[in-house]
Amino acid sequence: MRRNKHRSNRDLSSSLSSGRMPKKRIGVLTGGGDCPGLNAAIRAVTKTAILHYGMEVLGIKDGYLGLIENRYTTLSYEDVSGILTEGGTLLGSSNKANPFGYPSPSGKLRDLSGAVLENVKMMELDGLVCIGGDGTLTVAYKLYKKGLRLVGIPKTIDNDLGATDVTIGFDSAVITATEAIDKLHTTAQSHHRVMVIEVMGRYAGWLGLYAGMAGGGDIIIIPEIPYDIDKVCKRVTERHKSGKRFSIVVISEGARPKGGNMVVKKIVKDSAEPVRLGGIGNKIASDIENLTGLETRVTVLGHLQRGGSPSPFDRMLATRLGTFACGLLARGKFGRMAALKGQDIRAVELKDAVRSIRRVSRSHPIIKSGLAVGTSFGI
């Protein structure tokens, strides 16, 4: 691990006298929940910085926790070779280390953003790449407003970041969830059961919608469309009476019944997102079984959706976003995020990316397609 090796005045004088400027140094971190494609993004940033711009790269350990505790390592070309296909993040991550609300031993939240800026100064960073979702990039925007030179790269399996069409990790998670639904289809048919599959998706149902449609879900329930349990049970009963003695129900963890609330599993007080969801799958399964008399089973995919090797699409997306973000830093275009717009990678303002969560509209074309082929959305 590299420890605060400052570029000395002698090095600066030598560089100036020879007509060369000191080599620029940038940092890269991954924050929030992990997902497939993070290592591909780190690789893209690092290799582009070294090969194309002649920069040094520091990898910040465990997201913002590394900036708070001044923990980092130098990343070489060799360090990031061979990690394109690996899941997770070689730098580590944290979804609790919010510099603007960091818990003290007594539990009181402290603002350590000033210490972060001091540590960045000690590292002599000319810029920082923050790879993360809504929480990570919201913190990044706040740090940018305090003077930190940075850019963002969007990642989240929820695919709910504004100002980009797709985020790193989403496609891989859809594949994982779809494969699980495919496997549960056969056992549902064999045992004539109702199978409930709970996927991630706190406030946005993109993962449930895409995986549910791709996996042939009979009923798809997402946070944006509160469900009517009577309508759900009616659909299950109709299928059973018509000779289709099984049903597949795909439900997002943040879904809720009409007039009801999300099911909260627990509260983690020292987390930037203290509410931990979990249990909606069991609730709806119990309701279906009690109201229809049909045997119902639940599978909660949980963190399985975050793991594994990134899909080819995520590898390519992470590479394109990473190289583009490095270019933004090199040109001094701070306070921006690399985003996919159609087929193009473009720079968008960080404030636009985190202004609001991108949710599924009831008029979305995929919802319309689902309704056209007989998919129920619990309404």
Question: What are the residue boundaries of the structural domains of the chain, listed by start?
Answer: 9-168+310-353, 174-305
The whole-number pLDDT of residue 285 equals: 96
The whole-number pLDDT of residue 331 equals: 96
The whole-number pLDDT of residue 145 equals: 97
In 3D, which of 272, 292, 281, 291 has the Cα closest to residue 254?
Answer: 281
The DSSP secondary structure of 20-34, one letter per residue, reads -PPPPEEEEEE-SS-
Whole-angstrom Cα distance, residue 119 to residue 122?
5
> Do the first three CATH levels of 9-168+310-353 and 174-305 match, i.e. the same topology?
yes
The whole-number pLDDT of residue 23 equals: 83
Catalytic residue among 62, 134, 158, 160: 158
**Residue-wise burial string across 77-114, b where 16 or more C-beta atoms lie within 10 A, e elsewhere:** eebbeebbebbbbbbbbbbbbbbbbbeeeeeeeeebbe
The whole-number pLDDT of residue 6 equals: 46
The whole-number pLDDT of residue 1 equals: 42
Whole-angstrom Cα distance, residue 219 to residue 289?
15
Q: pLDDT per position in the chain (379 positions), as tens?
A: 444 444 544 344 444 444 455 789 999 999 998 999 999 999 999 999 999 999 999 999 999 999 999 999 999 999 999 999 999 999 999 888 999 999 888 878 899 999 999 999 999 999 999 999 999 999 999 999 999 999 999 999 999 998 999 999 999 999 999 999 999 999 998 889 999 999 999 999 999 999 999 999 999 999 999 999 999 999 999 999 999 999 999 999 999 999 988 787 655 665 556 666 668 999 999 999 999 999 999 999 999 999 999 999 999 999 999 999 999 999 999 999 999 999 999 999 999 999 999 999 999 999 999 999 999 999 9
Q: How many separate helices (H) and strands (E) can be counted in the chain?
A: 12, 15
**Residue-wise burial string across 307-317, b where 16 or more C-beta atoms lie within 10 A, e elsewhere:** ebbbbebbbeb
The whole-number pLDDT of residue 199 equals: 97
Q: What is the CATH number of domain 9-168+310-353?
A: 3.40.50.450
Alpha carbon separation from 154 to 126, 148, 149, 294, 336 (Å, rounded): 21, 18, 17, 42, 11
What fold does the segment set 174-305 form as a domain?
Rossmann fold (3.40.50)
CB neighbours of residue 2 within 10 Å? 12
pTM over 0.85: yes
Amino acid at 229: I
Whole-angstrom Cα distance, residue 182 to residue 258?
29
Verify whether residue 158 is a known catalytic residue: yes
The whole-number pLDDT of residue 104 equals: 83
